[in-house]
Amino acid sequence: MRVFVMMLVLLGVQSVWALPEVGEIVTYKGQKLAADGTYDIERTIEILAYDPQTTSFQVKYVHKQWGEGMFLGMIEKIDVVLARSYLSIEQGLIPMLKSQCGIIIENGGDPARRTLTSPTTVVTGLGLVPACRVETPSVDGSKAVQWWSSDTAPWPARTLEADLTEGSVLTLTIESLHKPSRKITPQPEDPPTEPAPPSEPKPRGD
């Protein structure tokens, strides 16, 4: 979440209340281009629990990697994410980008520290979604680009993580998003209605 928080500070985004759900699962798929080859990647993020005392979420991350069709391994970790990280993205960053996508944030006038934004669309597992591409300044030899969309918030529709020292580039695109509250339940059919009896003909006056 470090890149997210840094970007929110750069863009001057304020938090308002909106949270992901416990049980929410988002899955990303993509590739990592490295000096020693190309790897297929799957990353899953699951909201396990919410602590109202600390206003934080317990989040599980699962990272799987394949090379030349062979499963190479999996990394799993559980982390704590403060609620305000999601709040700022979903209801602060997204509305701002919908009205101001295309702006350049100068950040002191240094071209190397500019945050660049541009409107675009992203092909995802959820379909074609409108998004705003946000490229943040390089930090510690790394570069990050996120494609943000109201259709996938508080999760980016796509991410690019480049390690400029290692020479690797990881690109991930959202494949699926499960929210427990969006389960579709069949609606009961309306009971059949009986036809109305024919009306009696009115007598004609002479």
CATH number for 27: 2.40.360
Q: Is residue 127 part of a domain?
A: yes
Given a cut of 70, whether residue 202 has pLDDT beyond it is no
ω before 198 within 30° of 0 (cis)?
Answer: no
The pLDDT value recorded for residue 114 is: 77
Q: Is residue 125 part of a domain?
A: yes
Using a pLDDT cut of 70, give the percent of the chain over it.
Answer: 75
* DSSP codes joined into one string, 66-130: EETTEEEEEEEEEEEEEHHHHHHIIIIIHHHHHHHTT-EE-STT-GGG-EEEEEEEEEETTEEEE
Report the pLDDT averaged over residues 17-24. 80
Q: Is residue 92 part of a domain?
A: yes
Range of the domain at 18: 2-176
Report the pLDDT averaged over residues 70-92. 93
Given a cut of 60, whether residue 12 has pLDDT beyond it is no
Report the pLDDT averaged over residues 77-92. 92
Q: Is residue 184 part of a domain?
A: no
Q: What is the pTM of this model?
A: 0.76
Q: Is residue 199 part of a domain?
A: no
Which of residues 171 and 6 earns the better pLDDT score?
171
Sign of CA dihedral 104, 5, 8, 90: positive
Given a cut of 80, whether residue 192 has pLDDT beyond it is no
Would you give the end-to-end CA distance of the chain in angstroms?
Answer: 89
Q: Is residue 196 part of a domain?
A: no
d(CA 67, CA 152): 28
Q: Is residue 167 part of a domain?
A: yes
d(CA 60, CA 162): 23
The pLDDT value recorded for residue 201 is: 56
Which of residues 167 and 113 earns the better pLDDT score?
167
Given a cut of 50, whether residue 98 has pLDDT beyond it is yes
d(CA 88, CA 6): 12
pLDDT interval class at 27 (50, 70, 90): very high
The pLDDT value recorded for residue 138 is: 73
Instruction: Domain count for the chain, please give it.
Output: 1
Question: Of the ranges 7-16, 49-58, 81-90, which one carries the lowest mean pLDDT score?
Answer: 7-16
Average pLDDT value over all residues in the chain:
82
Given a cut of 90, whether residue 200 has pLDDT beyond it is no
d(CA 88, CA 170): 25
pLDDT in tens, 123-137: 999 999 999 999 987
Q: Is residue 185 part of a domain?
A: no
**How would you class 152 by CB atoms within 10 Å of its CB: exposed for 0-12, middle for 13-18, buried for 19 or more?**
buried
Which of residues 131 and 183 earns the better pLDDT score?
131
